[in-house]
Structure 1
Amino acid sequence: MIDTPRAAGGYRPGYEVAAEQLLELIARLGLQPGDRMPTENELARQLGTSRTVVREAVKILSALGRVRAQKGRGLYVADDEGMLGAGRWASFLPPTGPDHVNMLFEYRRAQEMETSRLAARRATPGELGAIQRAADLCRHGFDTGREELFNEGDDAFHTLIAEASHNVFLQIAVKEARRLQARSSLVGLRGSAGGHAAKAVEEHDAICEAIRAGDPEAAAEATAAHIDKAFDDYLGEIRQHTFSPPV
């Protein structure tokens, strides 16, 4: 049965679990935007649940912009940007600057404090190991001066914690917020891999330790401290680029 309680994380509706499984199925089948998906009956069979649960899961993914249902024609994979994608936000975004960056980090802070709380309650042993490996990759990138490894590890670290929350809405929101930050920033990810990098690897370790210990509030507090420090560093980079005299 899909509709099952979680011992550590509380009860989860079957349609929420099914929505996550549908996203995993799309990835596993290698389906691209515009590709047709299996029928509701076939999806129900593959997921081992009812067509009613699948239909509710499809409604969630349709609202998030991940699946498109065409009456009389079936289900299709929608664009990969989702409801929060940059294309849908473009006309609402103010010019990039300190105020805009502040809003982005406020948004990330709220999301990722909650994903860390949930991960501390729900992460499986395999997920804990993956989170630690991402933190180790980030540290290795810093120790060896390889910025691409640092950024790869940093992105994987935050993404894996979101996945360990087992909340499909937060997973998508974290992914889109990070993509939006990278697209709209004046300095890209250089702030993270610059002055804050040495502290960031220590902050990752603190978050890992709290999640592994199953302490939701400690995990949330460590995450808040990490994002707040990254925000301070980010603003410093922006001020430097904005106010430094031309060479």
Structure 2
Amino acid sequence: MNPKKRIYELIVEQINMICLEQNLQPGDRLPSERDLASLFGVSRNSVREALKDLESKGVIETRQGGGSFLAPSKRDVLGTELRTHIDETHTQLIDEMLELRRAFEVEAVSLAAQRATAENLEAIRRVLSQMAEAVDDPEMGVQADLDFHLQVAYATKNQLLIDLMETLAKRMEENIRATRSQRFTDKGRHQDTLKEHEEIYLAIADGNSDLAKQLMEKHISRIRLELYRAT
């Protein structure tokens, strides 16, 4: 966070994050002043100042004795300023997750190419079949995409790496869902992504760790590039 910002401005940003993470809609109630103060480790006066700022901008409504609620908006369900902030934050979170994925998945696929058993390869093939069938089923595609990367992790035989992947699985699922929703407006992109995963699988099956690393890095870098083009 920017140290030059005043406390209430930082609290405003944190409230925006709560709205994003909890998917709050117009009319939904925000946590109480007391709860927000406890959550952020600040005084209730600072929280009150942040809420007043949001209210002055028409983002929230404060009801006497009833708390604070997201306000209806004629232009946007969360208000123009809040939506802009949420969109920017969401994009940043997606990008940061892709950076993290590249950091450990490139090494993971290299290990998978060196250690994958016949059972591992069969599991990856099954996932690829599911991915191929998911052209008209976005949610099935998300799950198959996630399972592909998990199966690659299992093939590494590195328990710490597997634990890390399983711990991050929910975040990865959200990341894959978000990137697919932005990138797959053209159904042809589904086939391109399927081909990318198939090429990674073939490199693993061939035991070509260097090629597997190159393909995984290219795959994740291409996702980031496409997201930048979409924004």
Alignment TM-score, normalising by the size of structure 1: 0.52
Cα 1:137–1:192 change in 2 (3 A) is farther
Structure with greater helix percent: 2
8 Å CA contact retained: 2:130, 2:144: yes
- CA–CA separation in structure 1 for the residues paired with 2:106 and 2:133: 25
8 Å CA contact retained: 2:200, 2:212: yes
- CA–CA separation in structure 2 for the residues paired with 1:147 and 1:190: 8
Opposite residue 136 of structure 1, the aligned amino acid is: S
Over residues 126-156 of structure 1, what are the superposed CA-to-partner deviations in whole Å (9 max), with x where a residue is unaligned? 11011011112101112xx121221221111
- CA–CA separation in structure 1 for the residues paired with 2:199 and 2:224: 18
Equivalent of residue 141 in structure 2, options 150, 155, 162: 150
Structure 1 stretches of 5 or more lacking a match?
Answer: 1-89, 240-247
Opposite residue 162 of structure 1, the aligned amino acid is: A
Cα 1:226–1:179 change in 2 (3 A) is same
Larger Rg over CA atoms:
2
Show the counterpart of 2:103.
110
Deviates more, 1:224-233 or 1:183-192: 183-192
- CA–CA separation in structure 2 for the residues paired with 1:115 and 1:186: 21
- CA–CA separation in structure 1 for the residues paired with 2:131 and 2:174: 21
- CA–CA separation in structure 2 for the residues paired with 1:217 and 1:112: 13
- CA–CA separation in structure 1 for the residues paired with 2:200 and 2:191: 15
Show the counterpart of 1:214.
207
Cα 1:235–1:181 change in 2 (3 A) is farther
Q: Percent identity?
A: 23
Over residues 208-238 of structure 1, what are the superposed CA-to-partner deviations in whole Å (9 max), with x where a residue is unaligned? 110000011111111111111222233445x
Aligned residue runs from structure 1 range 22-171, under 5 A: 96-142=89-135, 145-171=136-162
- CA–CA separation in structure 1 for the residues paired with 2:177 and 2:183: 13
Show the counterpart of 2:60.
none
Alignment TM-score, normalising by the size of structure 2: 0.55
User: Secondary structure of the residue that 1:190 maps to in structure 2?
Assistant: helix
Aligned alpha-carbon RMSD (Å): 2.8
- CA–CA separation in structure 2 for the residues paired with 1:201 and 1:210: 14
- CA–CA separation in structure 2 for the residues paired with 1:112 and 1:171: 11
Show the counterpart of 2:18.
none
